Amino acid sequence: MSLPTPELETERFILRPIQEADVPAFWPTFSNEDAMRWWSRASFTDRKELRDWLLDDSWGGRTWIAEPKDGGTPVCRVVATLHEEGVSEIGYLTVLGSQGQGIARECVSALITHLFENENNRRIWADVDPDNAASNALLQRLGFTNEGTMREAWKTHIGVRDSYIWGLLAREWT
């Protein structure tokens, strides 16, 4: 049974379930080699493949798309996957040209608050490449603890990679 994807709101954004009309806004980012460097797969080269991947609801998680309240195209994608009762994994991607504006922090914070306060998660975690400085810094600023390194955890398009596991407990979220 999949959980609903309720609309969330921040000061600047509405986070809502993904729609097919959102796919073109994400193409420049998901097809960019640099933007996809730290992902577990290479950049997309086919628009239909990206569409099918973004809209696939069989992977077990939920996707929220952040769009500015004052209008415009989507600027961020955040996801959550419930791995067991009370424990969710999160992920996020800010579209090219929107980095460095606090968008990921604002949107991920809203998702964390929702997961802890409305879905009674006790723990949220994230899996990040150790060389992904921006993502690791974001999680640290949000209060996550680096719980360790899984050595040679992933074989990706850039080789075999380690993985930092970041964790945040409900009692640590203020």
**pLDDT by residue (tens digit) across 74-130?**
999 999 999 999 999 999 999 999 999 999 999 999 999 999 999 999 999 999 999
CA distance 13 to 76: 10
- pLDDT tens digit sequence for 119-140: 999 999 999 999 999 999 999 9
Q: What is the pLDDT of residue 25?
A: 96
114 contact partners, CB below 8 Å, separation of at least 6? 6, 8
Q: Is the pLDDT of residue 32 over 70?
A: yes
CA distance 123 to 170: 6
CA distance 108 to 72: 19
Q: Domain residues of the chain, as ranges? A: 8-126
Residue of 141, 140, 131 lying closest to 166 (CA atoms): 140
Fold type of domain 8-126: Aminopeptidase (3.40.630)
Residue of 118, 163, 124 lying closest to 4 (CA atoms): 118
Q: What is the pLDDT of residue 2?
A: 74
Q: How many residues does the chain have?
A: 174
Q: How many CA atoms lie within 13 A of 81 on its CB side?
A: 12
The two tokens of residue 137 are: 């810094």
151 contact partners, CB below 8 Å, separation of at least 6? 162
Q: How many CA atoms lie within 13 A of 64 on its CB side?
A: 31
99 contact partners, CB below 8 Å, separation of at least 6? 134
Share of the chain above pLDDT 90, in %: 94
Provide the whole-model pTM: 0.95
Q: Is the pLDDT of residue 1 over 70?
A: no
